[in-house]
Structure 1
Amino acid sequence: MITFPNAKINIGLNVVEKRPDGYHNLETIFYPVKLADVLEVVDAEETSFSSSGIEIDAAPESNLVYKAYSLLAGDFNLSAIKMHLHKVIPFGAGLGGGSADAAFALKMLNDYFGLGLTSAQLEDYAARIGADCPFFIQNKPTFAYGIGDRFKPVNIDLSAYEVVIVKPPFSVGTPQAYQNIVPAKPEFNLLEIDQLPIEEWKSVVKNDFEKSVFPQFPEIENLKNKLYEAGAVYASMSGSGSAVYGIFRHLPTNLDKYLPKGIFIYR
């Protein structure tokens, strides 16, 4: 059985307040995009995990796909399987690749073993793996709040546009992204974004991490500016970086000419 865990982008990201437990409350919109990994499961004599594509610098047992299997195996009598992940979604880019892999693994294993788990039950398992993992269970445009683990549906459809993701050859760590963040109540309510033409997003839909990340990594700010130069109607850093996306009505045929060399482009 094969599935394709897709990435997400953040449309707006407001760091609202710091919590007593040290985490931050956020407000953002998760939007699924086409960029995807490939995950395969087959019967085996003993359970194992392997990978290809982008190198995963960690022990197989620590991968979120393996953790998803182990979580279900703790409650169900699962037979042995071989799991292989072909990694395409880059790490440290704010695209949710690891969370997507875990959530899609849960959904696939539910089907593979005929467990009969509901979406709500799968979301509960996903939440034990990571705060944004439950989003990928239903995998629909979603307003996320709390620590990114509470959801409301939102009416956004970008199917008439082209979404391009660009990433420099480095990542941004979460501590770096939070380094100069000052939590504040947002001026614009993201739940009202469906009432706003996409051409007006630029002036009001912000990612608060840009204020912290851009001074540390001006290359990322440059990528955002280059996407606007290429004709994007909206561009933003996704999550805490380092990827930046542009939303285009019409994708230029010479997009790569606008971007510095060594930049990864995902369409």
Structure 2
Amino acid sequence: MIIFPNAKINIGLHVVNRRPDGFRNLESCFYPVNWCDALEIIRAEETRFTSSGLTIPGETDMNLCLKAYKLLQQDFALPPVHIHLHKNIPIGAGLGGGSADAAFTLKLLNNLFELNLLVPDLENYARRLGSDCAFFIQNKPVFAVEKGDVFEPIDLHLSGYQAVIIYPDLHITTAEAYQKVVPKNPNENLKNLLQQPLTTWKDGVQNDFEEALFPSYPVLPQLKAYLDEAGALYASMTGSGSAVFGIFPKDFSQKLTVTGTTYSVWQGAL
């Protein structure tokens, strides 16, 4: 059985304050995009994980897909499986690729072995794997708060708009990003700002990690400016970086490229 875990972008991101457990409270709109990995799970004689495509750092035993399998195995008599992941979404980009792989593993195992887990059950398992994993269970636009794992509905529809995402082959660790960002109470209500016309977002919808990371990584503001100049209605870094995205009009048909680099570019409809 094969499934295609997709990425997400953050439209606005405020780091509000530090929590007693060491995490930060944040608020952000999570929006799914169709930059995808490919995940296959089949029955096997012994459980193993393999991958192709982009190199996945770290030990295999620490892969989130395998962790998701082991998490369900604690509560269900799952048979051995072979998990194969073709990695296409850049790692360390703020696109949530690893979280998507984990959440889609839960969903695929639920279907494959008829575990009859409901959406709230799957979300609770996903929260144990990572802060934004639960988003990918329902995989629809939400306004995320607390650690990014509590969701409020948001009436945001960008269907037909074009998105361009550029990953500058720059891995910014979550630890570094959060070390540099300064939590602060936002001046404006992000959820209200996102209900305004998209053409007004440039003036108020901000990602707090830009202020923290742009001085250290000048390529990031350069890419944001490039997207603005190309005609983006709104451009921003996603998550804690380092991918930068632009949202373009529905009739935008120009194919954007970044030449002479090892950058990755994805372009498609939202």
What is the TM-score when the length of structure 2 is the normalising length? 0.95
CA distance, structure 1, for counterparts of residue 107 and residue 82 of structure 2: 16
Q: 1:100 deviation in Å?
A: 0.3
Are 2:190 and 1:190 equivalent residues in the alignment? Answer: yes
Cα 1:260/1:30, change in 2 over 3 Å: farther
Aligned to 2:88: 88
Q: Within the alignment, does 1:251 sit opposite 2:252 as a pair?
A: yes
> What is the root-mean-square deviation in Å for CA atoms of aligned residues?
1.4
Report deviation, 1:81: 1.2
Q: Which runs of 4+ in 1 moved over 4 A?
A: none
Is it true that 1:74 corresponds to 2:74 in the alignment? Answer: yes
Alpha-carbon deviation of 1:241?
0.3
- Aligned counterparts, 1:227-242, within 5 A: 227-242=227-242
Deviation at 1:193, TM superposition (A): 3.8
Maintained 8 Å contact 2:16/2:24: yes
Measured after TM superposition, the shift of residue 67 of structure 1 is: 0.5
| Deviations 1:161-202, CA, capped at 9 Å, x for gaps | 011110111111123222332211112222224530000000
Contact kept in structure 1, 2:23 and 2:147, CA below 8 Å: yes
Match in the other structure for 1:178: 178
The one-character-per-residue Cα deviations of 1:10-50 (angstroms, maximum 9, x if unpaired) are: 00000111122222110101000000100001121111110
Aligned AA (2:51): S
CA distance in 1, matches of 2:262, 2:149: 34
Contact kept, 8 Å, 2:167 with 2:242, in 1: the verdict is: yes
In structure 2, the partner of 1:114 is 114
8 A contact 1:198–1:234 mirrored in 2 = yes
> Number of matched residues?
266
Q: What amino acid is the match of 2:257?
A: D
Taking the aligned partners of 2:194 and 2:59, their CA distance within structure 1 comes to 43
Q: Which residue of 1 aligns with 2:265?
A: 265
Work out the CA distance in 2 between the residues paired with 1:111 and 1:12: 34
Gaps of 5+ in 1: none
Contact persistence 2:5–2:100 (CA under 8 A):
yes
Give the corresponding residue for 2:26.
26
Cα separation, 1, equivalents of 2:242 and 2:176:
11
In the alignment, does 2:146 pair up with 1:157?
no
Q: Which residue of 2 aligns with 1:102?
A: 102
Distance in 2 separating the partners of 1:254 and 1:26: 34
Partner of 2:179, secondary structure, is coil
**Using the alignment, how far apart are the partners of 1:118 and 1:266 within structure 2?**
33
CA distance in 2, matches of 1:88, 1:56: 10
* Partner deviation per Cα, 1:237-260 (whole Å, 9 max, x = no partner): 000000000001143525226x66
Does the Cα contact within 8 Å between 2:156 and 2:195 map onto a contact in 1?
Answer: no
In the alignment, which residue of structure 2 is the partner of 1:201? 201
Task: Tell me if the contact between 1:144 and 1:150 (Cα under 8 Å) persists in the aligned partners.
Answer: yes
Q: 2: distance between equivalents of 1:144 and 1:12?
A: 11
Distance 2:103 2:23 in 1: 22
Name the residue aligned to 1:9: 9
Contact 1:6 1:35 in 2 (8 A): yes
Structure 2: tracts of 5 or more residues without a match? none
Specify whether residues 161 and 198 from structure 1 end up closer, same or farther in structure 2 by C-alpha distance, changes over 3 A only.
same
Counterpart secondary structure, 1:72: helix
Partners of 1:76 and 1:20 lie apart in 2 by: 33
Shift of 1:79: 1.0
What is the CA–CA distance in structure 2 between the aligned matches of 1:43 and 1:22, rounded to whole Å?
39
CA contact (8 A) 1:143 1:190 kept: no
Question: Structure 1, residues 61-86: CA drift from partner, whole Å, max 9, x if none?
Answer: 21000011101111111111111000
